[in-house]
């Protein structure tokens, strides 16, 4: 196993103030599902202020946060004509996709892995803690999902989601190996805990809130509830999810699309964002620990 040392020395900078905005952001997301909404909002406000003071967010970035949050709030909490509601949804979706792909200026996300090679034949991997992407998931959960999706993460959901994850692993990993995207490569790199925290909350939570909670869940409310149409939101959200991984090329887009179908199926059957997160993170963790990560080097 080869792990280069050309990455952010997070162990040596455990008390680096730059981590504090993301720590408060992480706590605010955990508070979303465990405390009243006002507590989560207070924590998110603290995270935003600390990020602004430490220049992890610039005033322009704060403006994007306000615009995206207000557009979703108005769409979900204000009595509007249908055409205004659609405009609000479209505005939020555009901002959410832009923020999730880090194309809007005003954010200085924290680099924690810089071109790390987990194995000698693995492609270099860089990882940021992303305030903009995480904020999108936070807004969706508090404005849309917390008050509407009452299904709790219970034993039944856990068992069902575990079955979905097992089937996904059986389908996905042979496809990835056969396409020579990865190979079997068991490892436990230093810093795996940081990768896991980031992947569960800054990746799986944010992406599942957007693609399953907002896109799939939103479409489910507007399409006819028939045996054929009820699958349309799942496929549309999965296509969007696949396209969102365009940076990895066509093979990665197709693999992400297939994975998105399983994440979406778990969400559709349980009405639980946690179920989709569990399947998403479970696949990513198996990929990280047992196969080339993020992929084989070209």
| Residue from 199, 39, 60 nearest 134 by CA | 199
Task: Over range 227-253, report the average pLDDT.
Answer: 92
| Span 145-159, pLDDT tens digits | 986 555 567 888 999
| Residue from 126, 190, 165 nearest 278 by CA | 165
Answer whether 32's CB lies under 8 Å from 75's CB.
no
| Span 84-106, pLDDT tens digits | 999 999 999 999 999 999 999 99
Examine the pLDDT at 8 and tell me if it is beyond 80.
no
pLDDT value of position 133: 97
Phi, psi dihedrals of residue 269, rounded to the nearest 5°: -80, -30
| Span 42-69, pLDDT tens digits | 999 999 999 999 999 999 999 999 999 9
Q: What is the CA radius of gyration of the chain?
A: 19
Distance CA 269, CA 238 (A): 15
Examine the pLDDT at 163 and tell me if it is beyond 50.
yes
Domain range annotation of the chain: 1-148, 154-298
Distance CA 229, CA 226 (A): 5
Q: What is the largest CA-CA distance in the chain?
A: 59
Taking the CA atoms of 247, 293, 25 and 147 in sequence, report the sign of the dihedral they define.
positive
Tokens 């003071």 appear where?
53
Distance CA 273, CA 208 (A): 7
Q: The tokens of 138 are what? A: 């936070």
Distance CA 236, CA 17 (A): 41
Please return the burial class of 7, using the count of CB atoms within 10 Å of its CB with bins 0-12, 13-18 and 19+.
buried
Task: Over range 272-282, report the average pLDDT.
Answer: 96
Distance CA 96, CA 102 (A): 10
- For the question of whether the overall pTM of this predicted structure is more than 0.85, the answer is yes
pLDDT value of position 34: 87
Examine the pLDDT at 9 and tell me if it is beyond 50.
no
Q: The tokens of 215 are what? A: 């896109």
Give the contacts of 124 (CB within 8 A, at least 6 positions apart). Answer: 4, 115, 116, 117, 297
Phi, psi dihedrals of residue 226, rounded to the nearest 5°: -115, 170
């Amino acid at each position: 196993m080869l792990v280069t040392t050309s990455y952010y020395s997070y162990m040596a900078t455990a008390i680096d103030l730059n981590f504090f905005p993301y720590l408060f952001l992480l706590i605010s997301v955990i508070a979303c599902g465990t405390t009243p909404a006002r507590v989560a909002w207070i924590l998110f406000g603290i995270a935003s202020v600390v990020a602004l003071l430490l220049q992890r967010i610039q005033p322009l970035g704060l403006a994007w946060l306000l615009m995206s949050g207000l557009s979703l709030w108005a769409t979900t909490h204000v009595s509007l004509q249908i055409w205004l509601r659609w405009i609000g949804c479209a505005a939020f979706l555009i901002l959410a996709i832009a923020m999730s792909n880090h194309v809007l200026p005003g954010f200085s996300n924290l680099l924690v892995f810089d071109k790390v090679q987990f194995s000698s034949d693995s492609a270099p991997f860089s990882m940021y803690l992303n305030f903009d992407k995480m904020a999108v998931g936070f807004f969706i959960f508090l404005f849309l999902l917390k008050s509407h999706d009452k299904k709790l993460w219970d034993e039944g959901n856990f068992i069902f989601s575990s079955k979905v994850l097992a089937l996904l692993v059986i389908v996905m990993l042979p496809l990835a190996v056969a396409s020579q995207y990865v190979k079997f490569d068991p490892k436990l790199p230093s810093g795996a805990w940081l990768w896991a925290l980031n992947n569960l909350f800054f990746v799986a939570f944010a992406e599942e809130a957007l693609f399953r909670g907002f896109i799939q869940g939103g479409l489910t409310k507007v399409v006819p509830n028939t045996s054929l149409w009820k699958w349309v939101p799942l496929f549309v959200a999965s296509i969007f999810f696949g396209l969102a991984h365009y940076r990895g090329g066509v093979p990665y887009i197709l693999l992400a699309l297939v994975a998105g179908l399983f994440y979406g199926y778990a969400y559709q059957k349980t009405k639980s964002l946690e179920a989709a997160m569990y399947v998403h993170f479970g696949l990513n963790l198996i990929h990280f620990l047992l196969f080339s990560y993020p992929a084989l080097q070209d």
